[in-house]
Amino acid sequence: MPKLASQQCIDPKQHQPTENQLLKTLSSEVKERLFPYLELVEMPLGKVLHESGEVLRYVYYPTDCIVSLLYVMENGASAEISVVGHDGMIGIALIMGGESTTSRAIIQSAGFAYRLPGQRIKDEFNRHGELLHLMLRYSQALITQMAQTAVCNRHHSIDQQLCRWLLLSLDRLKDNHLVMTQELIANMLGVRREGVTEAAGRLHKQGVIDYSRGHIIVTDREKLERLSCECYGVVKSETDRLLPASRHRTESVV
């Protein structure tokens, strides 16, 4: 398959598969079988990796980008059900036997990822070795995030939802800077843009974030965690328990 023009400028030496925590935890033996088939691809903001119902051909391992999984209603309304970064993988349905999924995967924060042909990961998964166990733990962490997101969207305020969303996003980035418009945040949370604008304004007044033209900088993470609901803590604790490598990465982020 020919590469996009933007992909031809990618310098693989500046990126490593082990920037993704799932790939990093694999043994040398499994890496030798999978890494030769990994392809570094650019992940531009707003790109759709797959739509609901599409047969998946690849899985993606983000390194410094964030991918949102959205459920889209018939009327076009959408809401985020999970967020995936360097801690995870896009395309879990391929190894669960479904081949397709009901969610849309869209790039929330630009960067890069490694993609792997679906058949390669299925072959490794069917060896019933370490990849199988790793993917089962990752699936449990992902299910926890989806379930907690549903609870949060139903029972907590927009302010708390925004705090949770910011924290989950920060855990999947290398710094405290997000590039995201309020309109896109509203689409992720499934709320009105005005609600996000007001919530972001309150966080700014409390000295938690700086916001300007689609750039969000978290200036007081500790206070952001205090203002968030319990949902963030539940998701983070379960992810750290199931995927220890993710914990070490997030602890190193200032």
- The token pair at 150 is 């549903």
User: In whole angstroms, what is the distance from residue 148 CA to residue 150 CA?
Assistant: 5
**Alpha carbons within 13 A on the beta-carbon side of 48:** 9
Model-level pTM?
0.86
Residue spans per domain, the chain = 5-121, 153-246
The average confidence (pLDDT) of the chain is 87
* Residue 8, pLDDT above cutoff 60: no
C-alpha 118/C-alpha 16 separation (Å) is 20
pLDDT at 142: 94
Q: Is 125 left (phi over 0), alpha (psi -120 to 50) or beta?
A: alpha
Average pLDDT over residues 206-232: 92
SS3 content of the chain, % helix, strand, coil (to 5): 50, 20, 30
Strand 177-179 relative to strand 104-109: parallel, antiparallel, unpaired?
unpaired
Backbone angles phi, psi at 33, to 5 degrees: -80, -30
Give the alpha-carbon dihedral of 24, 30, 35, 36, to 10 degrees. 170
Amino acid at 103: S
3-state DSSP call for residue 178?
A: strand
Distances (CA, A) of 59 to 41, 105, 135, 149, 244: 12, 11, 12, 23, 22
In the chain, the DSSP E strands lie at 39-43, 48-50, 58-62, 66-72, 78-84, 104-109, 111-117, 177-179, 209-212, 215-218
Give the pLDDT confidence of 25-37 residue by residue, as tens digits: 999 999 999 999 9
User: CA quadruple 154, 159, 164, 170: dihedral positive or negative?
Assistant: positive
- Give the pairing type, strands 215-218 and 177-179: antiparallel
Among 154-158, 191-195, 222-226, 230-234, name the one with the lowest average pLDDT. Answer: 191-195
Architecture of domain 153-246: Orthogonal Bundle (1.10)
CATH topology of domain 5-121: Jelly Rolls (2.60.120)
142-190 pLDDT, tens digit per residue, is 999 999 999 998 899 999 999 999 999 999 887 788 887 778 787 778 7
DSSP 210: E
Cα 226 to chain centroid distance, Å, stands at: 22
Query: Measured in Å, how far apart are the chain's first and last C-alpha atoms?
Result: 40
Among candidates 143, 166, 139, 138, which has minimal Cα distance to 229? 166
Residue 213 scores a pLDDT above 80: no
